[in-house]
Amino acid sequence: MTETVVVLDPISEDSVTRLRALLPPGLVLTHGTARGDDHLKEIIATAEYAIAGQVGVSGEVLRAAPRLKLLHKWGVGVDNLDLDTARELNIRVARTTGSNAVPVAEFTLGLTLAALRCIAFGHAELKKGHWRTATAMPMQTFMLSGKTVGIIGFGAIGQAFARILKGFGCTILYSKRTPLSAAEEADLGARFATVPEILAQADVITLNCPLTPETKNLIDHKALAAMKKTAVLVNAARGGVVVEDDLIEALRSRTIHAAAMDVYEIEPLPPDSPLLTLDNLVVTPHLAAIAADNFVKTVNQMFDNIACVARGEPVPERDLVV
């Protein structure tokens, strides 16, 4: 019997073709073409399996899916999924643990360098025909080499970023609920530190943590005031980890030097957001996990989990959320 997999996010026809080429036997694939719960309820109604990337999946949407066996995150963070309703309805939830660690770590490096060296500003100005050299930049620029980098959230992504930083000769501090062993720290060249210690000591602070009750609004006015005036903040985690109004004020007042963001409290970011007016902030539209050469690996992991459920088998423990 054929079962349906629906990708809830609007995706390109090229992505659809690539997905269908990897689809396990016995499954057909459909996908979203618009945003909003009304459309999601329509397309999920006849599906046995649903995949969600950046789109939010509410309890109301899940209640419109009487045949749904598995809701799968295309990625790692599940804060956009209503897990309580999934439990209530006995819908399993899974994710692709570790699948995007290297792409996000590399993107974190890119954001860090862009913020430190005014790369985005120079690019935007030159596209307008303006040759902005040292005397016309909005701020001083700094090297990454030799700096102290604090990584808040030291799972697969944070550790991948630490490995990348080895070539820059950085002092690496990390914050994690359970510290690593001495051998693991030595291998990564990193040292455990509390969040207050990282805020006070780091030249660059990267957020690579999930959005949880513990991390929600972690970087607020008080945290920003505790950072060095020359510090750079990079958020490739989730928008809710940072209080955006507090960050806007800190960047305007030069409480911190600069920041870079790939994620926001509201996505898509509204075109009238004050974040878009700041000359010491680099912004990108939630791109960190997207890499064409990581597509097959991630999709195969996701489809393997769906195939397990289709066969009546459990989802592997590492990927099971609910």
The model's pLDDT over 129-177, given as tens digits with 9 standing for 90+, comes to: 999 998 899 999 999 999 999 999 999 999 999 999 999 999 999 999 9
% of the chain beyond a pLDDT of 90 = 99
> What CATH number is attached to the domain comprising 52?
3.40.50.720
Q: How many CB atoms lie within 10 A of CB 135?
A: 5
Inform me whether the pLDDT recorded for 202 exceeds 90. Answer: yes
Q: Is the same domain home to 38 and 115? A: no
Query: Quick one: 247 and 156 in the same domain?
Result: yes
Q: 20 and 153: one domain?
A: no
What is the structure's pLDDT at 199? 98
Q: What is the pLDDT of residue 134?
A: 87
> What are the pLDDT digits (tens) for 20-40?
999 999 999 999 999 999 999
Same domain, 136 and 256: yes
- Confidence band of 178 (pLDDT split at 50, 70, 90): very high
pLDDT in tens, 282-303: 999 999 999 999 999 999 999 9
Same domain (yes/no): 226, 129? yes
Task: Give the active site residues.
Answer: 238, 267, 286
Based on the fold, state whether residues 21 and 80 are members of the same structural domain: yes
The helix-helix angle for 101-117 and 119-127 (nearest 10°) equals: 70
Over the stretch 103-113, which tens digit does the pLDDT of each residue have? 999 999 999 99
Q: pLDDT by residue (tens digit) across 219-237?
A: 999 999 999 999 999 999 9
Is there a single domain that holds both residue 43 and residue 113? no
Shared-domain flag, residues 159 and 264? yes
For residue 261, the cross-strand partners are 235, 283
* 1 band by pLDDT with thresholds 50, 70 and 90: confident
Residues 183 and 50 in one domain: no
pLDDT at 227: 98
For the chain, the three-class secondary structure string (H helix, E strand, C coil) is CCEEEEEEEECCHHHHHHHHHHCCCCEEEEEECCCCHHHHHHHHCCCCEEEECCCCECHHHHHCCCCCCEEEECCCCCCCECHHHHHHCCCEEECCCCCCHHHHHHHHHHHHHHHHHCHHHHHHHHHCCCCCCHHHCCCCCCCCCCCEEEEECCCHHHHHHHHHHHHHCCEEEEECCCCCCHHHHHHHCEEECCHHHHHHHCCEEEECCCCCCCCCCCECHHHHHHCCCCCEEEECCCHHHECHHHHHHHHHCCCCCEEEECCCCCCCCCCCCHHHHCCCEEECCCCCCCCHHHHHHHHHHHHHHHHHHHCCCCCCCCCECC
> Average per-residue pLDDT in the chain?
97
Position 287 scores a pLDDT of 97
pLDDT, position 168: 98
159 plus 262 within the same structural domain: yes
Q: What is the reported pTM?
A: 0.93
pLDDT surpasses 80 at 121:
yes
Per-residue pLDDT tens over the stretch 42-97: 999 999 999 999 999 999 999 999 999 999 999 999 999 999 999 999 999 999 99
pLDDT greater than 90 at residue 260: yes
Looking at the fold, whether 118 and 244 belong to one and the same domain comes out as yes
pLDDT digits (tens, 9 = 90+) for 179-200: 999 999 999 999 999 999 999 9
Domain count, the chain: 2
**Domain range for 81:** 3-95+292-319
Q: Do 9 and 139 reside in the same domain of the chain?
A: no
